[in-house]
Structure formats: structure tokens, C-alpha cells
Structure 1
Amino acid sequence: MLERGFTNQNDVADFLHPDVAGLQDPFALHDMDKALETLDDVIQHEGKIVIYGDYDADGVTSASIMRLTLKKLGADPKVFIPNRFKDGYGPNMDEYKKLVADKIDLLITVDNGVSGKEQVKYLKDNDVKVIITDHHDLPDELPEADAVVHPRIPGAEYPCPYLSGAGVAFKFADALLGDDALQFADLAAIGTVADSVALKGENRVIVSEGLKRMHENNHIGLTALAKKCKLELNKVSSIDIGFKLAPRLNAIGRLDDATSAMELLTTSDQTLADDIVSETEEINNKRRSLVAEAFDQAQEQIEQQKDNGVLVLTSNDWHQGILGIVASRVVDQEHKPAMVLQYDKDQGIYKGSGRSPEGFNLFEALNAHHELFAAFGGHAQACGFSIEEPQLNQLITEVQAEPAKQAFDPHSPVEKKFDLSLDIKQLNFELIDEIGKLAPFGVGNEQPVIQFKNVHLNQKQSVGKDNSHLKAMIADATNQVSSIGFGLYQKAIDCSDELLNVYGQADVNVWAGRKNLQVMIFDFEVAPAGKVIDSLEKIYFDYRQKNLSKQLMNKFDKIVCFNPAYYEMLKRHDLSAEVIMADENCDGKNILIYDRPHKLELFEQFLNQQNPAHVAIYFHTTLTSRYLTPDLKHMKTLLKYLYSHENIRPEDMTKVAQYLQIDKNNIDFYLKVFFELNFVKMVNGFVKRAEVSKQRELIESPTYMKRLQRNDVEKILIESDFDNLLSWISEHKRQV
């Protein structure tokens, strides 16, 4: 939380414990009092009311909240949800004219309206009252409506300026109904998560409270939809909204008329709800199929444009409703701005959606060429537009200069962002519970991403209908955890058995009543250490278990020794290979390292001073004991025994070792350390207590330090497997 900007203890407490007490005064929103006065006047006169919504999940939840709220007040409003293909987004003059012809008295917009200055003026000129509730970017001039309820009006900024359209509608209900409006918090939560607004401040309260309210089953249609998604309403999370509920509501508006989505969320008829849910599932499956097909077809164009900084992908056949999703997938895959267009034969024009990665402002880039578009709008990371073919050809050329203008390098490696870097052994249920306290997760409060460094993906399996998903074990030398990665199977196969850095989110998988730790993998990359090890594997060879014959040794240009005794011994063997000491030059030669250094620093020095062509590592030694690790408890026991017994000679140490049940080699080692530190001394052939003038540390004993160094050599150079040895070399060899 500190890394995410929380430094005040009260802010931390509020964040960890979102409560309805954190809901803001709805009358702090601009024109809320005027809106209620206008609505009250129309209801009192039994006027005709129409709610004008939008076709995405935020739009239909906004319209649903407004419809249900007005019904509670005794009104019977009609709801108009524009058709993406016929009406487009926002105020549509043709539809507004129909509303005037129908002699309505009040229009209430939800999740749209602030861009409709001309359309609102038309309504006002025809004696129609207008209440705008919206959250989108403000134009230079606001429409002259009776009320504009918006969280970002200059001079009347609301404490939570990033409300969604559903959030604004919920505050409208709050102003009208008070605590009774909380029954709509679940719908507001869906719109808030679906519209990717920041889950901060009041938005966090709305989503948290909405998730709690879902189990009350206030909305038959929402219950039916959750059941179809195999979700239990009392266990729904913000992640479930983002990946299961919202996409299905969005799918209706992408491929069909979104009015049915609003009907689903407001109906009290179970049969109708079930019918709409079945239809929704069919539409969502069709949406998935269309996206997958278009994304697959786009790959050839992506490859053809691999040198371009901005990808422009076109087709006559792609469905207009899925262009934005395809663009998002292309950005995720290529990390480049992407524009995906479909040629509308009826209108003779290309219609498209654009998406861009963080660091590139797509709106700014395209707005620099706004004169080429028949229609254009959007924001930094997402745009929609229409453009004729000659202008498109010109745009394709000119837009390639835009990344450089923004100092955005589309070909640079993508920096992986993560919150925690953990070893696998640190992953446990307690940690996941702690992370869960930060929920609900979403934009502005993303679920923490964990990095697992220098790991392998073992037991790789392809899963899913198209076998594109990855199931594997993330493993290091001693631990492993199961994982799943959507669409990552082929990438995992391409990485073979390389050392990786893996990025994902920790979760709990429940199967057959058993809880298991699981990592949801987002991405992985060959670890820097892995890349170095790959190069080292071409240079270093493991001869530690080989039996060296004279014939084999003579295949090398030079044989390297760290110890003079082995150097002299090999010199007597009449080898054709040149025998040298480790400090002699062997650059560019094929060498065999015969013996081990007595401390790691000597081997590290060799690595960074020599540059041989190939290195076979043998590390011969005549040492029979390994890991003579100093045991402080045994050392104290021996010292206490020596201090309390007279007439003990060095040759008596075998019996002392037997009596104290301490290895004789260790007894000899400890005794030598005691002499060096002046804990004991020899008097007339006996070991006697010495008068220590000052406190001594074990590290002051050369013998003790040599033992520690020898243990390090044993552990790293002799006992480790070859991958771990190469990993150590990669960390201690300076890279050229």
C-alpha cells in the first residue's frame, strides 16, 4: 500500500474497510438539486419520461438503475438504448426528433449526454425538459439542459471525480431514495467495474457494497445471468464481474440490440430472464468466435507490418462490434498501437477502433490528422473513427511518424511490471488472504502481480477447447506450485526448458473440496540469468563425475591448477597438454580445470581474468571429508571439558571425541581453532586453559575461516548441480 501512495493511517484503514459510511453526499454533485426539482415537477404532472442510455455494460446498468428508481417513485418511464450500428454512441438527432414527435415531457440521459449540445437545444426548443447524467469528458461548452449531473464540472468538482455512468445513476437514486438505493449497488458495481474507472474512493465503496448486496438476489435477471456463468452470487468478486458478467452484457450491444440487456436487469419475470440469458450466452459465444477468427486472420497483416510502429489492420468481413476487442488483443500481443477497421459496404466507408499501450497517446496521434476522418473521437488509449479509403491510405503513411514524436519506441522490450518478487516457498494461503484484503480489484487497484525469478515451467500441458492454454508447474530447485496461463502454451513450448522470470497472480483453486495454491500466469520471459546460462552452456562442460584418462586429458590445450601440489604432480605425468597455474594466460584455449581452489574468490578471480574458448570443469580433490561445518554447541562443549579436566594431551583426543560423541576430525579442528584464539595453550605436553586478555571472535582464527571458505567451495563448486553452478558463474562473471 505504501508503494501505491498510501501514507496516512486513516486512508489505509478506510481503504481496507470500505463501508457505506464512505458514500458521499449525492447533493454534492453538480445540479443534483435542480435535477430532482425538474423530475418532481414532471412526475407531479404525470409527464411522459424517457431514459436515454448506451449500449455497453455501463450504459445498460445506468439505464436499469434509473428505470428501477423512477418506478419506485410511481413513474413509468420508457427506456431507449441506442443501437451501435444504426444509432451510434450518444445523442442522435434522428432519435431526438422521434422523441419530440412522441410528445415526451422529460428526457433523462444516462452514461451520455454532455456531448449533445445541438441535440439538447433541439429538445429545449420543443419544450422538452432535459436532465443529463454523465461522466464522460466535458466539451468546451455544456448543453443548456435543465440539469447536468456530472462529477467533473469545473468549480463543482465532486469528491469522487471518476464515477462511472452507473455510479452517477446510483447517486441520483441515492438522492431520491436514500438508503433504499443500496439495493441497486450491485448494478452500480457491475457498471463501475465494466467501464474500467478507477476503483478508488467512493467507487471502491460502491463495488464493495455491491458485491455484498448481490447475495440478496434483488434482481432476478442478474441471478439468472450469474447462474449461467456458474457463479454463486454470495461469492462473486470484481474479477468475476470483469471477466464473466460484464462481457456477456457487453456482447449484446456489440452484436445485437442492447435493450434486452436492460430488460434482463430490470425484469421481474423469471421466464423472460431465463430466455434473455440463453440468448445472451449464444451472443457471447458468437462474439468469442468472431473475435478469435478476426484475431487469427489479423496475424498475417501483423507479420507484414512487423517493422511498422503503428499497426493498421483492415478487412471487409470483420464484425464492427468486435473491432475494439481485436485491437486490444493485438496491443497485448505486439505492444504497439493498433487500428482495426472494417469496410462498411453500405456506407462506402471504413469504420474502426484503435487501442494503444501505455506510454502512447493514441488520441493525440490521430487528432493530429483529424481532417482525414469522417468521424473521430476517443481518449489516450482508445479511439473510434470513420474514414474513407483515400484518406485511410494517407493516414497509414503519416501515422507511422507519430511514435517518434511521442518518444515512444514500439520495438523496445516491454518492461514487466510487478508488485512483489517472491520465492515459491514464500507463497502460502496466509499471503493470499493478506492480498485479498486489498480487494475489490480493478483499474486503479490492480490485483498484485508477483514475479518468480529464475524458475522453470515443468510438466507443461495444453488445455482448453483449442489447446492454447498452459497448465504447468512453476518450479525452482526445491519448490513448485501449479499454474495456469491462458493462451500461453505455445510460448511455453518455444521457451523449452530455459530459466524464466514468471509473472502472475496468486490464487486458491478449489477442486473436489480440496484447496490448492495456484498462480494465474500473465506472462513470462527468459530470465537474464537464463540468457547468460545459455551462452555459458556453450563454453563450460561438466567433467566433475568423469574418470580422467591420460588420453582424455591430452585432448585439451591446457590443464589449469589452483594448487601447486597438483601442478607438480601433473608435470610428472608427461602430458602433451600444457599444465599451467590458474594465474597464467589461457585465453582462447580449450582448457581443463583440474583441481578446486581453496576459496571461491580465487575461482571468481579466474573467471574474470581469463577468457578461454571452452572449459571442462573437473575439480579433483583428495579430501575425504565434506562439510565439516563448525558446530558452536560442540565447540563450547569441548572447551568446557578442557577447562574442567587436567592432564589432557593432544594424543588423548580420540578418547575425548568418543566420550563427548563428537567426530574426531571436528575435535582436531576445534582444538586448532582454540590454540589460534589463545583459548588454550600447551604446558609441559598438556592442554591447559590460557588466560585470555580480551574477547576473541571465531573469525579471527585462520583455520576457522579456511574451513568456512572450504565449505563454500564444496557447496557451490562440488555439490551443486550443473545448472546451479552455471547460475553462480553467471552472477560472478563480469559480462562483456
Structure 2
Amino acid sequence: MTVGDFLTEINWEKRKNPTKQVIDEFAKDKKIDPIVAELLLERDITEPADIETFLHAGVDELQDPFELHDMDKALELIDQAIESEAKIAIYGDYDADGVTSTSIMKLALQKLGAKPIFYIPDRFKDGYGPNLARYKFLADQGIDLLITVDNGVSGKDEIKYMKDRGVKVIVTDHHDLPAELPEADAIVHPTIPGSEYVCPYLSGAGVAFKIADALLGDEALELIDLAAIGTVADSVALKGENRVIVTEGLKQMKQNHHVGLTALIKKCKLKVNGISEEDIGFKLAPRINALGRLENASSGVELLTTGDKSFAKEIVDETEDINTRRQELVNTAFADAQSQINAQKDHGVIVLKGNKWHQGILGIVASRTMDQENKPVLATQFDENSGVMKGSGRSPEGFNLFTALNKYNDLFVAFGGHAQACGFSIEEAQLDKLTELLQAEPKEQGFDPQAPVVKKYDLALNITELNFDLIKKINQLAPFGMGNPKPVVKLTNVSLAQPRSIGKDATHLKTMIADGNRQIGAIGFGMFAKSQTIKNSVCDVYGELGINEWAGKKNLQMMLDDFQISPQAKKIAALRQVYLDYRNKRLSSEVMGHFDNIVFFNETYYEAAKRANIKAKLIHYDEECDGNNILIYDRPHSLELFENFIKKNKTKYTALLFHTDLTGTYLKPDMIKMKTLLKYLYTHQNIQAERMDLVAEYLKLQKNDIDFYLKVFFELNFVKIVNGFVEKADASQQRELTESPTYLKRLQRNDVEKILIESNFDDLLSWMSDYDCHC
């Protein structure tokens, strides 16, 4: 992510809103923790069988591979080829799914004694999918059987060519089906009409693994870690059998069956025993993908299938260099693109030209720009070999890029893709024409690029609820990915303390999230600049909870997705423009004369101000204010009076003084002291009302407390005064203390003291925001 990712406004919504009662009943019924229950309810996983397989995915949940279309035909062809020592070629793809698919197929065939060759298309020379020139090359090598992995279903003409040359063809793929299927000898695919597989969202590596499963049985589990990499890398839904593949694949990585994978894990500074799906997605897969973006990805297959540690180390070192170069190229290109992006702020679709950009990183540049601007983006580069512009497109949810571009299909030299991503070739003059035509497409599709992005959070918690046990509960739903996103936690009304910039370019944020009682560390990629725009503001924070381990010590850490000034903080900021804190000021008559109106809640202070000849207009709290700037002079006797006043007070500026001549604070009545005094009065005679100071001294109570309690007792008919002596009254019924006007007034004054006087100004404004007419 980059700092630009957070220029787009995000509207956060709860994924679903089951009530606490529903969550608790569901948790009790299913015998699971309420946190796990809430997350399952949000994902519509409610049936006992579904809950069991979701939370406890294991090898027993692997499906019969022969349920896949043409699996029996594929195995028969492979068996025949191996028995006859026929020459087998595997045709893969240059991304991580294609590389792992090719590796799985190669290793599975080798376990059966075959010696297959493989071919990974070159992104720049061959393009994606079947390439007729490369098929001719393989046919000329005398191959007898061609097995495609992670591609092939769209290669009707190319496969016909191979069939005409007498080559048997097995297509294994998972991509969207074309209108007409190729005439291959077998097509192993999870969504063939009439033969839909129970897990229709297998990756290319997942399909290859199922063939390995059919060929090898339990021994195929040694290859499930490679299938896990392809599954995570290709962003297929982590549901059903895909959850099993990733879960068991992560376990299998601990066995170190693959020398090259172990070397790659070590290079990424990961612990084999603690690898997660996030490590695959953010560390392992990007390095494998980098090979196909900048070089030829064949070395990726060599890495994952070699048994030579020295050779593996050489490839890993080369892979790391390529990945570093890929990162540098992306950062340079994206920075270079900013001027073009700024120049197209008013465009509905952004089209970027970078003649010095590397073709292999165009998709990443388009994706980053899309995240930054929330608009469809085409990133292009002039290809000197072909003399045309090569491009890659990305679009946000809500805009169908394929539909928009397919309208102008005649402008392209080549074009293909789907709703959110595409690739194409186009002449530069036609690109300029296309750019102009595309600007009408967002409106055509009802897509508003200026509208806030809507994202989902899962759990609304307090910082005090965050702990290691919570992480364990959340991780019961792992592995996370497409179709099962990692739960996002929302923390409300917190602050970002000690923010500082980190990273090579100082754009990343390291901070502490605090709420006054507790704090936890947080990291926000590309968020430092944003943090500087909300200094000292109360925020709502969104992110994923994790563990940061450093020097053998583990601490909770949140990976930030977003932070926003909280709605309450916005209200407080607005009220700060209206109200001024004068509570600790001493004001002279001259200063008070500068106000248009001075408002009084107490008649005593009102009369005293009249005698002082203050120039300002003096009014009672229930009179109409006709000034722009007013001063509230004294304290109301109850909060209700002040609430009603600020509901109607529309003046531009209001200073809050809240003066009183009382020196003590309004302490809450002490029930124990009241009972002690009442018991004493009931058990002693001849107590003179005028000598209550002696009682106070004896009971070690304050005289003003004694006077207050005694007045309450009189009002409730607990005691009476007869001839100057305090006696027990003949109370006929039980009375509540709040029936005493004196007691009730004291409670009201306590509330006034606590909220209007003792609170800090932001807390006071926060309370006022519930009633004030300016909010």
C-alpha cells in the first residue's frame, strides 16, 4: 500500500449485525465461543456440518478426484504414456499458480517414473496461454502427450493443431470456459457444465493436485504445500476443498519435502513451523510472481522441483534480486505516474503512459492507482518489438472493465480479460481515441468514482478486550483469503499516540493506539502522512489483530486498514467553534460588558449583576437570546435546565463561566454516614437541635453533612423536632431518599458539578453534543 491508498474516503460498515442475544444463543447452541459465533454468523455459516468442516478442515475432507470431469480419461492417457515411455510435455503459465501447477505435475509424473519436459511461456515473447509457435516447437521435439496446467481451455485452434500432428492433449485448467471447448482428449476442469465439481473454485494448482491425488493416492500429500501456494497466490475463494488444501499445505511445509521451497522460506526469513497464508500471499508468492514479471518463470519450476540444495540457493538468490528489482521498478513507475494521475483528476477512467516502464509491472501500477483513486485504470507502455502499446487494466468493484472495453474491441490489436482486470495491445493513436471514449463509461454503468469506498469490519471491540486469547479465537476461522477475509476489528474513540514515520521512504506509520486505559502498537503502511492530518483527534481505527515478535518477546499489534476522525470527535470539533471555556477565569465587569448577552440561572446572581451596572444585556436562561456572543455566568441547579437551554441556543459564540459562591464540591451523600446518624438519633434522647455540632464531633462527621442529613430526615418524616429536641417520628410507611427535595437537589448538583465543572472541556463538549442544536 502507499500513502495514496488513503486519499479515497472509506465508509465502513459492519459485515452483519446479529444482536448480542442471537450471538449468545448461537454460541450456546453450537458450543462455541461468542466471538467465533459472531464471525460465523457474519459469514452465513450456521449449519452444524458446515461449521464442523469450516473450523476443522482436514485431509478427510478431500474429495474423490475422479469426480472431476474427464479425470478417468486423463489418468488412462497418462498411464499409457508412462507404460510406453512416450515423451510428455507440460505447458504451464508464468504466474505463481502456473509455476506451482507445473511443478506439481512434473513431480507427480516423476514419482511414476516418467521424465516429462516442461515449458513456461515468456510473458513478453509468448503472451498468456496457448501459443501456436510454441506448440509447433514442442511438436517438433517429438512429444506424444501434451498436458496443459493453469491454461489451455481457451486454446481451441492451438490444440487442434497438436491433434492434427498426432499429439494427445490433456487440458487441466480452472479459468472461465469459452463458448466452445477445445477438442482435447481430456479436459479436467471443475466447472464443465453437467459435471460441476463440488469445489468449483479450485486454482490451477488445485486441479493439478487433484490429478496428482488420482495418480499417487496418499503420496500426493507431499505436493499439497505447492498447491497451497498456488491457491493463495491466485486469490481463489478459500472455501470447501480449497480450505483443506491451504490448511494441510501449511502443515506440509514443516516436513521440508521440497529443497527449493525450504530455501525460499529461509530467504524470506520465515519460520517453517509458523508459516501462515499471509506469509504465502505477501512473501512467497510475490517472489515467484516476480520471475514471470521480469524474466522467464522457468527458474521457478526448477526451484520447486530440484533436490540440489546448492542449485536451489542459486535460484533463490537470483529470485530475491529479481523481486527487489521488481519492487524498485514498481515504486519508480508509480511515483512517475503521479503527475499523469493528477492531470486526470476529473476523468472517470485514468489512462497512463509510461514508455520507460517495464511491461511486467503494468498491472501492479494500474492496481495501485486504482486503490489510490478508486477509478478504473489502464497502464500502458510502448513495446518497440511490436510497435504498439501494451497495457494492463484494473477496476474497482462496481465497474465492469471488460464490458467497457469490449464495446471498442475493434480499436485493439489484442484484448482479453474480465470484470476487474484485463490485458491488451493497441496502437498509440487508437489509445488516445479510446481514452476519450471511455470517459462516458462510468456514468453508463452507474459508477461514481467520487463516491466513498464501502468496506466491511467484523468486530467492534474495546482495547481492553484485545489479547492473545482473542487472536486464538479469530484464528479458528483461518486460513483467510478470498471468500473468507481476515476479520477487521474496529476500535472506537481512541487516539494515535507517538506516531512516527518508518521505512526506507519514511511513508509508513508506527504508532500506539490508546484509549486512556490501555494501548497497543500498530503499523500502517503508507499512512504516516495521513496521521499528520488528524493530530490529537479522537479516531475510529480499523485493522487486523496480530502478534509482533521481537527479541523473543511477543506483543499484540494491529495492522491498520484505516483510521478516521470519529463522528463524536467531529461533533466536538464543531462545538469548539461555538463554545469557549471560561470556567477557570476571573472576569471583571468591564470584560463582561463586551458580551452581547449574559445569561443567568440564579436570581441572586442576576440581581447582583444588575447592581454592578454591566453594559451587556442581562437575561434569564428562559428568555430569548438576541446576541452573537453570550456568556453563561452561573451554574444551573440541574443538568436538565442546561440541556433545555443549549437545545435552543443558536448564538454564534458562547462562553461558559458557571460561577458559584459555594466553596465546597457537591459530594454524593454517604449512605453509611446517614444510617449511622439516624441510628444515633433513634437510640438517644434529649438531643437538642441547636447542639448538633456535638453529635457531629462524637460521630466524627462534618457539621454541614449533619445539617444536610437532618434536613432530609425531616422531609421524609424520619425525625421531628419537639420543643427544640430531635425525636423519632411516627413514620407510617417506608420512604425513598429521592422523595426528599433536599436530597434530590443534592444529587442534581452532584451531576452539575461532575459534568459541567469537573470534566475536561472535550468531555464536556462530548456530553453537550447529545443536546446542542449546533450538532
Does TM-score exceed 0.5, indicating one fold? yes
* 1:340 and 2:395 matched: no
Map of 1:102 onto structure 2:
141
1:26-65 matches, within 5 Å, as 26-65=65-104
1:488 maps to which of 511, 514, 527: 527
User: Does residue 1:619 correspond to 2:667, yes or no?
Assistant: no
Q: How does 1:124-523 map to 2 (within 5 A)?
A: 124-523=163-562
Task: Identify the residue that residue 7 of structure 2 maps to in structure 1.
Answer: none
Q: From the superposition, tell whether residues 219 and 498 of structure 1 become closer, same or farther in structure 2 (CA, over 3 Å).
A: same
Distance in 2 (alpha carbons) for counterparts of 1:439 and 1:659: 68
8 Å contact kept, 1:376–1:384:
yes
Deviation, structure 1 residue 22: 1.5
CA 1:654–1:30 in 2, change beyond 3 Å: closer, same or farther? Answer: farther
What is the total number of aligned residue pairs between the two structures? 735
TM-superposed deviation, 1:407 = 1.8
Letter aligned with residue 539 of structure 1 = V
The alpha-carbon distance between structure 1 residues 709 and 434, as it changes in their structure 2 partners (threshold 3 A), is farther
2:724 is the counterpart of 1:688 = no
Change (3 A) 1:653 1:102: farther
- How many Å separate the matches in 2 of 1:139 and 1:605? 69
- Once the two structures are overlaid, the 10-residue window that deviates more, 348-357 or 57-66, is 348-357
Deviations 1:224-279 (A, max 9, x none): 11111110111011111111111111111100000011111111000111011100
Q: Quote the Cα distance in structure 1 between the aligned partners of 2:379 and 2:179.
A: 29
The root-mean-square deviation of aligned C-alpha atoms, in Å, is 2.4
* Aligned twin of 1:21: 60
Q: How far apart, in 1, do the equivalents of 2:683 and 2:246 lie?
A: 73
Q: Structure 1 residues 45, 431: closer, same or farther in 2, change over 3 A?
A: same
CA contact (8 A) 2:597 2:627 kept: no
Shift of 1:361: 2.0
Aligned to 1:722: 761
Segments of 5+ residues of structure 1 without an aligned counterpart are none
Q: Relative to structure 1, is the Cα distance of residues 275 and 624 closer, same or farther in structure 2, using a 3 angstrom cutoff?
A: same
Give 1:24 deviation, angstroms.
1.4
Letter of the 2:728 counterpart: K
Distance 1:400 1:90, change over 3 A: same
Deviations 1:606-657 (CA, angstroms, capped at 9, x unpaired): 2221211212211122343435235556666666666676776766766666
Aligned-partner Cα distance in 2 for 1:115–1:605: 72
Deviates more, 1:546-555 or 1:672-681: 672-681
Decide which of 128, 131, 145 is 1:92's aligned counterpart: 131
What SS does the aligned partner of 2:94 have?
Answer: coil
Q: Does 1:68 align with 2:68?
A: no
**Aligned CA distance change for structure 1 residues 508 and 657 (closer, same or farther; 3 Å):** farther
CA displacement at 1:472 relative to structure 2: 1.4
Q: Which residue identity is paired with 1:453?
A: T
Distance across 1 between alignment mates of 2:154 and 2:82: 26
Give, in whole Å, the separation in 2 of the partners of 1:704 and 1:418. 47
**AA of the residue aligned to 1:307:** D
Structure 1 range deviating more: 725-734 or 191-200: 725-734
Whether contact under 8 Å (1:649, 1:687) holds in the other structure is no
- 8 Å CA contact 2:73–2:186 kept in 1: the answer is yes
Distance verdict in 2 for CA 1:107–1:458, change over 3 Å: same
Tell me the CA shift for residue 519 of structure 1.
1.5
Counterpart for residue 116 of structure 1: 155
Q: How far is the alpha carbon of 1:452 from its aligned partner? A: 2.3
Which deviates further from its counterpart, 140-149 or 5-14?
A: 5-14
Query: Matches of 2:472 and 2:695 in 1, distance apart?
Result: 54
1:133 deviation in Å? 1.2
Name the structure 2 match of 1:531: 570
Moved more, 93-102 or 628-637: 628-637
Identify the range of structure 1 (130-139 vs 540-549) with the bigger mean alpha-carbon deviation. Answer: 540-549
Q: CA deviation at 1:107?
A: 1.0
Question: Displacement of 1:384 after TM fit?
Answer: 1.4
Matched, 1:592 2:631: yes
Distance 1:584 1:457 in 2: 43
Answer with 276-285 or 98-107: which moved more.
98-107
1:182-230: CA deviations, max 9, x gaps? 1112111111111111111111111111111111111111111111111
Residue identity opposite 2:537 in structure 1:
E
Name the amino acid aligned to 2:748: Q
**Counterparts in 2 of 1:423 and 1:567: CA distance versus 1, 3 Å:** farther
Q: 2:597 touches 2:626 (CA, 8 Å); kept in 1?
A: no
Take 2:727 and 2:468, find their aligned partners in 1: how far apart are those partners? Answer: 56
TM-superposed CA distance for 1:347, in Å, is 1.2
Name the aligned partner's letter for residue 171 of structure 1: K
Q: CA deviation at 1:448?
A: 1.3
Q: Which runs of 5+ in 2 are unaligned?
A: 1-38
Q: Identify which of structures 1 and 2 has the higher relative contact order when contacts are C-alpha pairs closer than 8 Å and 6+ apart.
A: 2
Q: Secondary structure at the match of 1:552?
A: helix
| Identical residues among aligned pairs (%) | 63
Greater alpha carbon shift after TM alignment, 430-439 vs 97-106: 430-439
Higher mean displacement: 508-517 or 702-711? 702-711
**Corresponding residue number in structure 2 for 1:4:** 43
Q: Tell me the SS of whatever aligns to 1:76.
A: coil
Give the counterpart letter for 1:251 in structure 2: A
Confirm or deny: 8 A CA contact 2:507 2:527 kept in the other structure.
Answer: yes
The amino acid of 1:11's aligned partner reads D
Q: Which residue of 1 aligns with 2:33?
A: none
Distance 1:719 1:74, change over 3 A: same
TM-score by length of 1: 0.94
Instruction: Report which stretch shifted further, 604-613 or 167-176.
Output: 604-613
Deviation at residue 428 of structure 1 after TM alignment? 2.3
Kept in 2, the 8 Å contact 1:587–1:611? The answer is: no
Which amino acid is 1:74 matched to? G
Q: TM-score, normalised by structure 2?
A: 0.90
* Alpha-carbon contact 2:596-2:627 (below 8 Å) kept: no
Structure 1 residues 662 and 105, CA, compared in 2 at 3 Å: closer, same or farther? Answer: farther
